[in-house]
Amino acid sequence: MTDVRIIAAISENNVIGNNNEIPWHIPEDLKRFKQLTMGNSVIMGRKTYESIISRLGHPLKGRKNIVLSRNNDFKDEGIIVARTIDEALDKNKDNEIAYVIGGESIYNDFIPFASLMEITRVHKKVEGDAFFPEINWGEWVETFREDKKGYSFITYKPPRLYFGD
């Protein structure tokens, strides 16, 4: 069974994107994202995939890229297209961990399946048009925190999976 993990950078007002781009540049967050996701699968929506292509010119290297899209004609080299959550998870059978990397509706769909959330909390409010779903953070157990200047790396586990140290 796939271990589903959410990874996101979120502002104080829950913004995750603006005009299909990340509204901040935090090199250490990008480094952490690469370190955590490398060698695993990444599951994303089509718009997130297109923003990666516009920035990098190719899918994320060293990871199985699974893109959810309702468009039956959508396809691209170097990715696996899935139409449903179940299909995305089924296409991940050979990888133990799948990181869900956005966008808004994809996060919303996968949070109930998540065993872990790796969050970069950006300590400012920003303008945006894509938001992380409203969740009750009190229901999640903070198991790791590293505060930096302007942001924090935080790991959360749902209470049903947390048994202490």
Per residue in 50-68, pLDDT (tens digit) is 999 999 999 999 999 999 9
The ranges assigned to domains in the chain are 3-161
**For the segment 100-157, what is each residue's pLDDT rounded down to a tens digit?**
999 999 999 999 999 999 999 999 999 999 999 999 998 899 999 999 999 999 999 9
Q: In CATH, which of 3.40.430.10, 3.40.50.880, 3.30.930.10, 3.30.70.100 is domain 3-161?
A: 3.40.430.10
- The vertex-100 CA angle with 40 and 62, nearest 5°, equals 25
Nearest to 26 by CA among 147, 150, 138: 150
SS3 state at 24 = coil
Tokens of 13: 């007002």
Locate all alpha helices (DSSP H) within 97-154, ordered by sequence: 104-110
Label residue 76 exposed, middle or buried (CB < 10 Å: 0-12, 13-18, 19+). Answer: middle
pLDDT at res. 94? 80
Amino acid letter for position 34: K
